[in-house]
Each structure stands twice: as structure tokens, then as C-alpha cells.
Amino acid sequence: MNFNFEQGEIFLIDKPFRWTSFDVVNNLRGFLHSRLGIKKMKIGHTGTLDPLATGLLILCTGRFTKQIEQFKDLDKEYTGTITLGATTPSFDLETEIDFSFPCDHITEEAIHSVSISLTGTYEQLPPVYSAVKIDGKRAYEYARRDQKVIIKPKVISVSAFEVTGIRMPHVDFRIVCSKGTYIRALARDFGKALNCGAHITALCRTRIGQYHLRDAWELEELKKALLEGGVINEQ
């Protein structure tokens, strides 16, 4: 197996839990520099995945970085768990629970009905704890300093919102959606519609377009393959 980083490679990576997308990019870049002697290398990812999410992250190197925007336009599939009865400022477990609500009134029929209501094309308000840029800074930079900002809603499309399991107060799901969709915001809206609050407690990206998580590398396995395989260095 030969790798030509300058000409361009596309790597499917299973992002580790609590790693940022940039952590993965920087880790691989550092490996290429320190272990393989590749000092200058264009490398980037095709779409941010939350630190507390796992799953498919696509990295492009060399000339293939010019294709990154094309990857961003592809639809995405996620699986995970929404926990009802409590909210957090970040809509996931990055922040502590701020409010709790009773959810004894919620039926399985209501849960399925709300999932159907959240499919289609509509405007979604992104989370304050997000990478949305406001005046040159990421929204989460303001949020972590308790600074209030105004975030504009974005048009998204949810083509599938399937409830795959109910273990109250936990609801397992599979979602297929367009670029720019925040699953955490879907969890927020899910809780609001059920009048009980909700947040994400597990999230995994399983597909980007035709690329699947089942074909992805564990980061350490990829490094091993790079050491054992041939690397064409055109510097």
C-alpha cells in the first residue's frame, strides 16, 4: 500500500471520544512530520464533529484539500441517544444540567409523532455552543465567557428521523440530514415539543454521502499502516 500525500489522499477516520476534529488533524500532521519526515503538508477535515461525538471524520491531504467543500455538501447520517427530562446549555454533556423536568406524561406515540414533525426542510437555530462564526470568532468562544450573542437561524433539511429504541428517559435515534444541521439543536427542539426538555447523551456520525464509518481507520491503525507501507514524499 503506497500513500502519496502531496498528490492527495482521502482518509476515513473514526474520531475518538473527547477529541476535537482539529485534534485529529493536528495529531496526524504531527505524526507525518516527526515519524515520516514530511515537514510541509496540506491537510484538513471536511466537517467538524463535536468533541463528545464519535464516528466518521474525513481527512484530505495535498491537492485533495481543494475538494473539501464538495464533501461538506454531502448528506450525513447519525445515530445516538436523546435523554429526556433535563437540559444543558450546550444541549449535550459538555456542560452541566441546568434544568430538570418531569417526563412521566410522555408516551411512545408522542415521541414518534415529534420525530416525524422534525423531518423536512425548515429553519434551525444553531446552539450557542457551536462553531458558528460571529464577528470572526466561534460562537462557543462567547458562550464559554458567558457573553451573549445573536445567532441567526439556518435552513436545514432532515430527510429521516427514526426512533430506534425507547428506554425512558432515553430515546435512541437514527437521523439523516443536510449539511449545517446540529443534532444537539434537534435534541433541544425534541424536548421542547414534548414539553420536558432534552439533551444529547450519545452521538455517532455513521455516514457522509457514500462514505461509511464501517470503512474508517482507527487513528493508531492508520499510523501503523503508514509506517509499514510506502510513502511517496515529493518534497
Active site amino acids: 50
Q: Which residues contact 62 (CB under 8 A, 6 or more apart)?
A: 4, 5, 6, 7, 8, 9, 41, 42
For 73, 121, 153, the CA distances from 156, given in Å and listed in that order, are: 12, 6, 9
Nearest partner of 120 among 62, 189, 167, 54, judged by Cα: 189
Residue 191 host element (H or E): helix 183-193
Residue 1 carries which side chain, given as an amino acid letter? M
Q: What is the DSSP string of 18-70?
A: T--HHHHHHHHHHHHHHHH---S--EEESS---TT-EEEEEEEEGGGGGGHHH
User: Which residues, in sequence order, are bridge partners of residue 212?
Assistant: 207
3-state helix, strand, coil in the chain (%, to 5): 30, 35, 35
Residue 216 is given by DSSP the state P
Backbone angles phi, psi at 26, to 5 degrees: -65, -35
Q: Which residues contact 114 (CB under 8 A, 6 or more apart)?
A: 190, 193, 194
